[in-house]
Amino acid sequence: MDIVLLGPPGAGKGTQAERLAEHLEIPHISTGDILRDAAARGTQWGQKAKPLMDAGKLVPDEVVVGIVADRLAEPDCQRGALLDGFPRTIAQAGALGELLAACGHAPPVVVSLAVPDEELMRRLSGRRSCPRCQLITHVDELPDASPAVCPRCGAGLERRDDDAPEAVRRRLDEYAEKTRPLIQYYGDAGLLQAIDGNGSVDSVAQRVAAAVGSARNARPG
Ligand code: AP5
């Protein structure tokens, strides 16, 4: 089964994806992580993507679809994959449908996380990530004595360049204009599981797992 996690910036897609992918034993594919890695390594399209990402704008569809096509063709995706941050436009959703059909897979289960804007701003302004073990955390969760150190592996925590206030505003606008229409698109296709993304990480994880379980039970075979 292939799963798409849909939601605005800061909705908790990455946080939930890490847990769900481990639980379902399928790969977690984050287009944001792949693009950030390419930018850090200075590859040709990483260099093109970096200024767009830092400004909070979407990277062109053809770049992102190419990345996902290559990744889905790898053997570990045969049993399914968890897509975090893709698709983000109607054109990307169409391309994903074609890619999955070409691999003999059913259309994806789409889990959409809804979180109020004020809470999104709170989460993004305090987010910290670990470059070594990929932990995503928040300053409110970190001890006062060592707020810059990863509590899991001890590496120095980083703040994402696109979590600056101006970039966050642009990302929320891009989401509203280009990505939110996917809720209607997947709802019309009968593929959407809409859940409340507010509350503790554990309570949201329970809702996500229940939504995936009910979608799985509703599928033939
Ligand atoms: P991407 O990396 O995908 O960023 P995003 O979609 O903006 O989402 P975020 O990673 O900011 O948030 P999230 O929902 O994963 O939340 P998280 O779990 O981190 O994309 C970055 C950029 O890459 C894009 O702007 C674009 O330029 C480009 N890009 C990527 N994919 C693309 C595509 N398909 N097409 C075109 N361009 C693309 O949580 C956030 C914070 O909240 C953390 O601090 C976390 O600890 C905290 N938190 C999480 N859950 C909870 C909870 N339940 N309660 C309290 N706090 C919580």
* pLDDT higher at 220 or 150: 150
**Nearest partner of 136 among 28, 54, 213, 51, judged by Cα:** 28
Average pLDDT over all residues of the chain:
95
pTM to 2 decimals?
A: 0.95
Pairing mode, if any, of strands 136-138 and 192-196? unpaired
Q: Residue 22: which CATH number?
A: 3.40.50.300
Residue 56 binned pLDDT confidence (cut-offs 50, 70, 90): very high
**Among the atoms of ligand 1, which is closest to the Cα of residue 136?**
46
Which atom of ligand 1 lies closest to the CA of 33?
Answer: 2
Query: pLDDT digit string (tens) for 29-39?
Result: 999 999 999 99
Span 201-207, average pLDDT: 97
Is the pLDDT at 102 greater than 80? The verdict is: yes
Taking a C-beta distance cutoff of 8 angstroms, is the pair 116, 62 a contact?
no
pLDDT confidence of residue 65:
97
Please give the number of the atom of ligand 1 that sits closest to the Cα of 56: 25
Quick one: tokens of 177? 């204009």
pLDDT at res. 218: 87
Task: Work out the number of other CB atoms within 10 angstroms of the CB of residue 117.
Answer: 11
Strand 127-129 and strand 109-114: pairing? unpaired
pLDDT of residue 11: 98
Instruction: Return the structure tokens found at 52.
Output: 């767009």
What single-letter amino acid sits at 188? D
pLDDT mean over 165-187: 96
User: How far is ligand 1, taken at its centre, from the CA of residue 11, in Å?
Assistant: 7
Percent residues over pLDDT 70 in the chain: 100
Q: How far is the CA of 127 from the centre of ligand 1 (A)?
A: 10
* Cα gap 27→100, rounded to integer Å: 15
User: In the chain, what percentage of residues exceed pLDDT 90?
Assistant: 94
The verdict on whether omega for the bond into residue 131 sits within 30 degrees of 0, i.e. cis, is: no
What is the count of structural domains for the chain?
A: 1
Listed residue (30, 100, 34, 91) closest to 61, CA to CA? 91
- The pLDDT of 2-21, averaged and rounded, is 97
Position 184 pLDDT exceeds 80: yes
- The answer on pLDDT for 221 being more than 70 is no
Beta strand pairing call for 127-129 and 136-138: antiparallel
Q: What is the pLDDT of residue 146?
A: 84
CA of 84 to the centre of ligand 1 (A): 8
Rounded to the nearest 10 degrees, the angle between the axes of helix 31-41 and helix 44-54 is 120
Asked if pLDDT for residue 110 goes beyond 80, the answer is yes
> Residue 38 is encoded by which pair of tokens?
């390419």
Of 40-44, 83-87, 91-95, 183-187, the one with minimum mean pLDDT is 40-44
Active site residues: 13, 88, 127, 160, 171
User: Up-side HSE of residue 164: CA atoms within 13 Å toward CB?
Assistant: 8
Ligand 1 centroid – CA 45 distance (Å): 20
> What's the confidence (pLDDT) of residue 45?
85
Handedness of CA 201, 155, 171, 190 (dihedral sign): negative
Question: Strands 109-114 and 192-196, how do they pair?
Answer: parallel
Q: Which domain holds residue 61?
A: 3-218
What residue ranges line ligand 1, CB within 6 angstroms?
A: 7, 9-15, 31-32, 35, 52-53, 56-59, 64, 85-86, 88, 92, 123, 126-127, 136-138, 162, 171, 199-201, 204
